[in-house]
Amino acid sequence: MASIPTLDGIRSRMVATPRLEVHLLQAGTENGEVVLFVHGNASSSTFWEETMLALPEGFAALAPDLRGYGDTEDVLIDATRGVQDWVDDLLSLVDTLGIDRFHVVGHSLGGAVVFGLVAARPTAIRTVTLVAPGSPYGFGGSHADGTPVFEDGAGSGAGVVNPDFARRIGEGDRSEESPQASPRVVMNSFYWKPPFRPAREEALLSSVLSEKIGPERYPGDSVPSEHWPGAAPGKLGPVNAISARYAGDLAQRFVAASPKPPVLWVRGDSDQIVSDQSLFDIAVLGQMGAVPGYPGPEVFPNQPMVSQVRDVLTRYVSEGGDYEEVVIDDAGHTPYVEKPEAFGACFHPHLARR
C-alpha cells in the first residue's frame, strides 16, 4: 500500500478512522507495548523505518503519515486550530486500533504535535521522546517568552516559505539544480549535518516529495500584513498551523498536564533548523541581509527555539514532571537517522521507564 518501498520487516496498511483514512507503517512484536512515531514537516513515516526496526523485543512500532503528508487521505489542515487537527487524528487512530496506552516519539513538527498529545490525553502516554522538537510557541515570530512579535503572526507561517521549494516538491524534483530550493539539496544540507548522506537517500527524498502541495495545503495560504516582512499566516496548511499566530496556550496546557509522563529530549549539536539562530527563522535571515527591510532585533528579535523548549520543560519539572536532555555530537536536525546507535543508547532505556 505504501507508495514508497519499505524495508523488510515493515508492514504497510490503511486504517479507516472516524476522521480520515490513515496510512500506517508497523513493525515489531504484534501485541507489544506500542511506540507511536510522529514525523516532521516535509517528510513522512518513511523516516522512522530503521528506528522502528531497531526497537527492543516486546515493542510494537506504529508510524502514521500525518494529515497533509505521505499516503494518508488528502484532507485539509485547519491551521486556526494550531496542532489540534493532528492531535485529534492521532487520538482517533489509537482509539480505532483499541490502544489504551502508548509511548510517543515526535520529530520537529511532530514534536510540537506531541506537546499537544500530552496536553490532550496524558493518561494514555507512557513516555515522551522529543527529537529536535518545534517550539510549543510556534515556529518563527515570537519573543523568548513565547509572546508573538506581532498579533497577526507576521514573520511566521506560509508567507515566509520559499515558494520555489514548495513548487519543486509538487513537481517531484529530484535534481540538485537550485541550492536554495532543490528538495534534495535542502534535505542533505539541513536535515543532517553535511557531508552525511543516508544510505536510503532516494527513499527519504521520496518521503520529502510526498507532502501535499498547494495554497490550501503546503505551505498554506497567507495574508498581507502591515508588519515586516509583509505577510501573515492564513487559515490553512501545516506551516500556518505551527505559526506563532495559532500556537495559543499549547505550552501552558503541556505544563499543566496530569499525570506527567517522563520526557527525553534529544537534539543534534549542529541543528540549523531548530536552533536559537535557526537559518529558517525570518529574523535571522533578516539580520544576515537575506530578506530586505529587516526592522532590527529591537522590533523583531530572532526566536530562541532551543531555549524556549528548555524553559517549557523546566516549567514541566517545576510542576512535578521530569525530563532529560541529550545532545548528540556531530549531528544535525535528524539524529536518529545520522547517529542511530547514539540515539538508541538513550532512547531504548527511556522506553523502559514505564
pLDDT in tens, 286-305: 999 999 999 999 999 999 99
What is the three-class DSSP state of 20? coil
**Percent of the chain topping pLDDT 70:** 100
Whole-number pLDDT of residue 246: 97
pLDDT value at 325 more than 90: yes
Q: Any idea which fold 11-148+246-351 has?
A: Rossmann fold (3.40.50)
User: If you average pLDDT over every residue of the chain, what do you get?
Assistant: 97
What is the three-class DSSP state of 5? coil
pLDDT in tens, 96-125: 999 999 999 999 999 999 999 999 999 999
DSSP string, 212-262: -EETTSEE--EEE-SSTTSEEE-SBSHHHHTSTTT-TTHHHHHHH-SS---
Helix (H) or strand (E) holding 308: helix 305-318
Q: Where does the pLDDT of residue 330 fall: very low under 50, low under 70, confident under 90, or very high at 90 and above?
A: very high
Residue boundaries of the structural domains of the chain = 11-148+246-351
